[in-house]
Every structure is written in C-alpha cells, then in structure tokens.
A = this chain, B = another copy of it.
Amino acid sequence: MENNGFGELLELLAKCNFPELRERLEKMNEVDIAEFMEGLNQEQTLLVFRILPKDISADVFSYLDSDSRTGIIEAATDKELHALVDDLYLDDTVDMLEEVPANVVRRVLASTDSQTRELINRFLNYPENSAGSIMTIEMVELHDRYTVREAIDHIRKTGVDKETIYTCYCIDDARHLIGSVQLRHLIMADEDDLIRDIMDGMDYLRYVHTLDDQEEVADIVRKYDLLSVPVLDNEDRLVGIITVDDIVDVIEEENTEDMEKMSLLKPSGNDKPYLKTSVFRLAGNRIVWLLVLMISATFTGKIIENYEALLSGMVALTASIPMLMDTGGNAGSQTSTLVIRNLALGEVTARDYLRILWKELRVALICGLILGVVNLGRMLLLRSGTLMECVVTSLAMVCAVIVAKLIGCTLPIIAKLLHIDPALMAGPMITTIVDAVTLIIYFSLAQAILM
C-alpha cells in the first residue's frame, strides 16, 4: 500500500540505472515487486516488466492488478506474449483472459499452440466459482509401479514447471486417480520401495469434481488441512489440482460475499475493488433491496394507521415505537448471524433446528426479562408516561425480543432447506418482519390493557 521502501527503486528507475534496478528486483519477493509496479505509470510498468529476470516475470505478472496486466498485455509484442503465456500457470492465464478486452484475448490465443488453446477454451467454459474454474493442470503425476527412486527422478525432471510438487498424485493407465503420496514420505522412504506400497489409497484421499462449487472445495481443504486437492472429471480421471493458496482467497471471497448479503448488498464477486467501482454500479448493487424493504414497510405504516385512535391520546406509546423496533431488530439479527455463521461453517445443520429453537427460546427469555425490567425502571425514572403505559411497553419489549429471536433462528434454517443462501436472512431482512410483528403485539397489548 505505502510507497516507503520503494524510494530507492524509484530513484534507480528515474536515473535509468537498469542493471542496478534489475539486481535489486532479483532479490525481492514477487508480491513486493508487483506492489512496486502498481504504483508506476503504464510506460514505467512495461519498462520494469521487461527488465525483470525471465524466471520471475510470470510470477510477478500473476500478482499484478488487472489494470497493470491489461496495460502490459496490450503493449507486449507477440513474442513477449507467447513467452509470458508459456511461463504462466494455466489458471493464471485463464484469470488474465477473463479480465482483458476481447481483441487482446484473440491476440493471446493466436500466440499459443492449438493444444493450449483447446485447454484454455475448456477452462473458460467451466461455470464461475466451480472447482474446474479455479484448478490448475500443473501437477505431478506418478505411476504406482514406479520405485521411489524413479519417482524422485521424475519429479526432478518435470517438477520445475509444476504449481506444487509436495503432494504427488498416482494414476493408472486410464488416468484414473488411485492414490497420492507426499514428497516428505518419498524423501523419507527407501529408494527401492514401490510407490504403490507407500501411497495413501482412495479411502484416505479427498478429491472433488470439476463442477463442484468452490465453497465445497474450501470446506474440504479446511477440514482435512490439505496443501492441495485433486480435481476429477465426470469419469473420475485426474484433470487438475487446487492449491491451498487459492483456497485462502476463496475463503476470503466467500466470507466477503456472506457479509455483503447479510447487509443487503448484491455480492460484487470478482469485481473491481471498491475504490475503482463506478458509483452507478455501487448504487445498482444496493438499490434493489432498499426498495423491496421500503415497500414492505408499507405494512408497518398500515398497522400504525389502524391504531390511530389508540395512539392519538397517548404520546408515550408513540415515543416508544423506535426503541421497541430497534431492540427487536437487534435481538433478531444477533440470533440470525449466529445461526447463519454456524450453518456456513458446518457446526449446525437444518436437522438441529429444534435444539436451536429451544436454546434461543431460553436465551430470549433471559434477555427479554432483563431488558423489560430495565426499560420499566428507565421509563418510570424519566416519567415517560403513566405506570400502565410503562408496563405495557415493557411487556411488549419482552414479547418482541422473544419473537425476534425465534424468527431470527427460523428464517436462516428455512432458507437452507429451500436451498437459498441463509446469509440473505440476516439483520435487515429480519428487522422488517420483526417490526411488523412487534407493532402488532405492542398495540394489541395496549388496547387490551389501556382501553
């Protein structure tokens, strides 16, 4: 983020001292180089990219933001393009192609051989957020008839271009996955051992299919502490792997999406960063839910109109409406968030519903009673209305908290059963429903007790 630390590099660049600049960059982490380049103008970015040692330039490229990437691609010669695509992992090439304009895509594809082009096209066809769309094909495959010595020789010969060599996958002649072996076990094993004797079999191994959702892949990697997970096609042949560093990004992306949904934002997905998104796009992501909930608030308005006579005489009742509604909304969103998060992490399932309901009922009773008593004291102290008005408000408070918490744990579970994302049932959505119920309880109590 900050430009400190890059001062000397900028000076070398300004002085056109490229040999020294190159030497400095050579020692740096690719992520830091990308960060340095993102602070430069397009011309300088291209210049620095051309200075970079060939063995790290593809890595640096994969860490650049999409504007810098597009700039480099558009200005690159065909020869440079070819070399770049050759050095990039296939998943990074595909990521890049999804971001750049169509004419650039055509240039990139033209510079690749027909086999790569076919692979790229297959990748571009995997559904968004599927395992196929985030996998890479650069994995180590071993035959189970290899000895450990042969396996290590094979890795030495082919491993330099692989995304990871730490988990190697064992396949039979039809490319079916039959096991895996960790490099650490290869290193520790006797050189004459057969792979088939030391590999972990399919009972042990976890794998996914190309069309599985990336969230399921993340769950498996998290649960089994994996460094990579193999991806199979629909005939159970090994077609790729997904590494843990990509899963870390998936986890953050899914969490962002959940938080966005919980706050009524249309998930931005892999979109541009906030500061680069246009205000119309931002407004578009927000307006739909705001409109829907505003219009549903028509009900609360109608309820109030119905009790016009009741309210006109007692200002204390009207004055308590915001407090009752807010407290109900807060109590409901506490519960819905807990349930949504526990569902997302697999800590509870829809089948636990009755246990959750019973727990929340008791929690609601405790919270509701405390809030009711404190509210009674507060209103009496501030002389906000007659004794009976204070009692009615406090009773309504207890009921509102109970109802809010029961609705708060029920809606996410119903959403789960209907295969809707439970995250949509968080705070604001619940608030609108709780508001209407709270007002009805409140006015009914008032009518019964005060009239």
Contacts and interface: CB of A to CB of B under 8 A. Distances in A.
Interface string A412-451: 0000000000000011100110010001000000000000
B323 A321 contact: no
A366 interface: yes
User: Most chain-B CB neighbours within 10 Å: which of A260, A287, A371?
Assistant: A287
Interface in A245-267: 245, 247-249, 251-252, 255-256, 258-260, 262-265
Given A322-B301, A375-B294, A378-B295, A252 B359 contact: no
B165 A382 contact: no
Interface in A304-327: 304-305, 308, 311-312, 315-316, 318-323, 325-327
Contact of A279 (B331, B363, B378): B363
A265 B378 contact: no
Nearest to A291: B374
B327 A293 contact: yes
Given A265-B337, A280-B366, A305-B319, A1 B201 contact: no
B203 A28 contact: yes
A113 B280 CA distance: 66
A370 interface: yes
Given A155-B187, A251-B251, A330 B293 contact: yes
Nearest to A426: B263
A318 to B, nearest CB: 6
Q: Is the interface of A mostly helix, strand, loop or mixed?
A: helix
Nearest to A254: B255
A359 B279 CA distance: 6
A304 B290 contact: no
Contacts of A201: 27
B27 A333 contact: no
A275 interface: yes
A282 interface: yes
Given A204-B29, A439-B322, A156 B431 contact: no
A300 interface: yes
Interface in A327-359: 327, 329-331, 333-334, 336-338, 341-342, 345-349, 352, 355-356, 359
Interface stretch (A71-79, A209-217, A223-231): A223-231
B325 A275 contact: no
B371 A291 contact: yes
A282 B359 contact: yes
Nearest to A311: B318
Contact of A432 (B188, B222, B326, B374): B326
A327 B253 CA distance: 27
Contacts of A226: 245
Interface string A289-303: 111011101101110
B338 A298 contact: no
A244 interface: yes
B333 A294 contact: no
A384 interface: yes
Contacts of A160: 188
A152 interface: yes
Contact of A315 (B293, B295, B304): B304
B203 A294 contact: no
5 contacts: A155-B187, A251-B252, A263-B337, A290-B371, A333-B428
Interface of A: 1, 27-29, 31, 152, 155-156, 159-160, 165-166, 183-184, 187-188, 201, 203-206, 221-227, 244-245, 247-249, 251-252, 255-256, 258-260, 262-265, 273-275, 279-280, 282-283, 286-287, 289-291, 293-295, 297-298, 300-302, 304-305, 308, 311-312, 315-316, 318-323, 325-327, 329-331, 333-334, 336-338, 341-342, 345-349, 352, 355-356, 359, 362-363, 366-367, 370-371, 374-375, 378, 382, 384, 397, 401, 426-428, 431-432, 435, 439
